[in-house]
Amino acid sequence: MSVATSDTAVRTGVLTRAIIYAVLVVFAVYYLLPLFVMVVNSLKPLDEIRSGNMLALPQTWTIEPWLSAWGTAQIGVDPTGLKPYFVNSILMVVPAVAISTLLGALNGYVLTKWQFRGHRIIFGLMLFSCFIPFQIVLIPMARVLGIIGIAGTTWGLVMVHVVYGLGFTTLFFRNYYDAFPTELIRAATIDGAGFFRIFQRILLPSSGPIIVVTVIWQFTNVWNDFLFGASFADFDSQPMTVALNNLVSSSTGVKEYNVHFAGAILAALPTLIVYIVSGRYFVRGLMAGAVKG
């Protein structure tokens, strides 16, 4: 979609074009403003925020808030900073993304190239699972995690994210493999290649783009999740989003806005970097999640 093949050929005057550019730039400022506020104020000493202008550049530049947010800020009961929670998020995201992507690829392969009776219903049921409000599963999930014995652990969160990510990963791969020529598969079957061999040798080598899209989608979703983290994590397995919220909303002591902003950027950094590095794929994932086909 990102390839602009045919721009609309509307005739516009110089004045109209100037207005169009002005409007577009104003909106660019609007979208950038909160990020600007976060960055600028994370580099100011606290009293400069309290007495000064939030939109002004720092008079005294300091990275103290960043160091505090990362290593020493009070979160919950301990002055640990966000660092351990950042690690928690990484430990949660990597297996969750890997497992759900792999399963999604296999599911998409089966649902397009090895169709059997009822494949449509199965896909429909998996697809609907993407959209359910997770409030409907919170109570039983809390119990099941307890029964399995992984309540409050990172592995518990990994499992939850794999389960509720499966619908989307399956959707992505299904739509991608759907367009893959079935004749190639048929020919390979006649040559005696089996189920896994075909997957490994024929489909997987050409799945690069969709793997990237799926990994980015899952990474963003799992990293940004708050509800599951807040519901199912213990103090020592809380992800970054939950820790950030604890940091910002803790009612004790002075509100260290600059530390909050630095923490917010730290929490946003991984997904922002992914977005900047591979924006094209990010958009594709978003679109594929919304517009099937």
Partner 1 sequence: MTVHNQLRGTLQDYLPRLVLSPSFAVILLFVYGFIVFTGYLSFTGSRMLPSFELIGFDNYVRLFSLRHWSTALTNLAIFGILYILICIFLGLGLAILLDQKIRGEGVLRPIYLYPMALSFIVTGTAWKWFLDPGIGLENVMHLWGWESFEFRWIKDRNFAIYTIVIAAVWQSSGFVMAMFLAGLRGIDNEILKAAQIDGASNWKLYRRIVIPMLRPAFLSAFVVLAHLAIKAYDLVIALTNGGPGRATELPATFMYSYTFTRNQMGVGASSAVIMLMMIASIIIPYLYSELREKRT
On whether the CB atoms of residues 247 and 259 are closer than 8 A, the answer is: yes
Q: Give the span between the Cα atoms of 65 and 260, in whole angstroms.
A: 8
Q: Judged by CB under 8 A, which stretch of 33-41, 63-71, 90-98, 147-155 contacts partner 1?
A: 33-41
Q: Which of 71, 79, 146, 194 contacts partner 1 by CB under 8 A? A: 194
Q: Which of 8, 59, 181, 205 contacts partner 1 by CB under 8 A? A: 8
- What is the smallest separation between the CB atom of 71 and partner 1, expressed in angstroms? 19
State which residue, 154 or 258, has the beta carbon closest to partner 1: 258
- What is the smallest separation between the CB atom of 126 and partner 1, expressed in angstroms? 5
Identify which of 268, 262, 263 has the alpha carbon closest to the alpha carbon of residue 223: 268
H/E stretch holding 9: none
Q: How many residues bind partner 1 (CB under 8 A)?
A: 105
Q: How far is CA 219 from the centre of its chain?
A: 4
| Both tokens assigned to 154 | 């990172």
- What is the smallest separation between the CB atom of 151 and partner 1, expressed in angstroms? 14
Residue located via tokens 């799992």? 222
Q: Give the span between the Cα atoms of 204 and 193, in whole angstroms.
A: 15
Q: Is residue 227 within the footprint of partner 1 (CB under 8 A)?
A: yes
Q: Give the span between the Cα atoms of 201 and 91, in whole angstroms.
A: 31
Q: Is residue 190 within the footprint of partner 1 (CB under 8 A)?
A: no
Q: Give the span between the Cα atoms of 7 and 41, in whole angstroms.
A: 40
| Both tokens assigned to 249 | 């909303």
Q: Give the span between the Cα atoms of 45 and 58, in whole angstroms.
A: 8
| Residues in 254-283 at the binding interface with partner 1, rule: CB under 8 A | 257, 260-261, 263-265, 267-268, 271-272, 274-276, 279, 282-283
| Residues in 105-134 at the binding interface with partner 1, rule: CB under 8 A | 106-107, 109-111, 114, 116, 120, 122-129, 131-134
Q: Which of 187, 195, 204, 236 contacts partner 1 by CB under 8 A? A: 195
| Residues in 34-93 at the binding interface with partner 1, rule: CB under 8 A | 34-35, 37-38, 41, 49-50, 52-55
Q: Is residue 286 within the footprint of partner 1 (CB under 8 A)?
A: yes
